[in-house]
Amino acid sequence: MIRTAPEGRWFIVAAWAVALALWVGVFRFHSSGWWIGAVIATLLATWVVAFFRDPQRAGQRGARLILAPADGTVVSIVETDEPTFLEARAVRISIFMNVFNCHVNRYPSDGVIGYRHYNRGKFGHAGAEKSSLDNEQSSVGLLTEKGKVLIRQIAGLIARRIVTDHEVGTVVHQGERMGMIRFGSRVDLFLPIGTRVLVHVGENTRVGETVVAEWS
């Protein structure tokens, strides 16, 4: 059985209710239009279930390792200023999630939440460089035994809802659910300069499983 995120359950119910209603129409009216509508609605309802899936992921764990906070594709790895939490130059790993990726985000390391900030903004293409500054976003700063880590959830063209589960002061664990973003988005991971990055641009990541970096 597929485990799904609680934020998606009403979407799933609504999608399957529409599909069921169209199939009732198929058996009542026997027209090609009803058949086409029912098939399309069923495919969409199946996709909605897949979109809101929340699979348990197992893999390497440990304080030295930093795991992927999102499913998706690494679209950039750059050095940049991070003035809000790290307050220093940082390495930013950006992971773009398309509408077929799992959209539940997970913590890359054990730690305590030391910072949280939500910023309203635009809904531009999440894969674009300027989305890190312009788009709606939610940032979570994590105090780990090795150093500071910042995770930034960024809304995309279709996303209109960012969910972040925990407040400042919460003790969280590597691979634990952090939240999710609905319908296409991006997650930026900011790490201190000197952290050894293990992924490259174009590589696909699996949330809570792919090791994206390790502390030096």
Its sign, for the CA torsion 76, 83, 135, 156, is positive
DSSP per-residue codes, the chain: ---B-GGGHHHHHHHHHHHHHHHHHHHHH--HHHHHHHHHHHHHHHHHHHHTB---------TTEEE-SSSEEEEEEEEEEETTTT-EEEEEEEEEE-TTS--EEE-SS-EEEEEEEEE--B---TTSTTHHHHB-EEEEEEE-SS-EEEEEEEE-SS---EEE---TT-EE-TT-EEEEESSSEEEEEEEETT-EE---TT-EE-TTTSEEEE--
CA distances from 74 to 117, 186, 189, 212 (A): 24, 10, 11, 10
Please confirm, yes or no, whether 216 is among the known catalytic residues: no
Given 109, 138, 185, 216, which residue is catalytic?
185
Q: Catalytic residue numbers?
A: 185
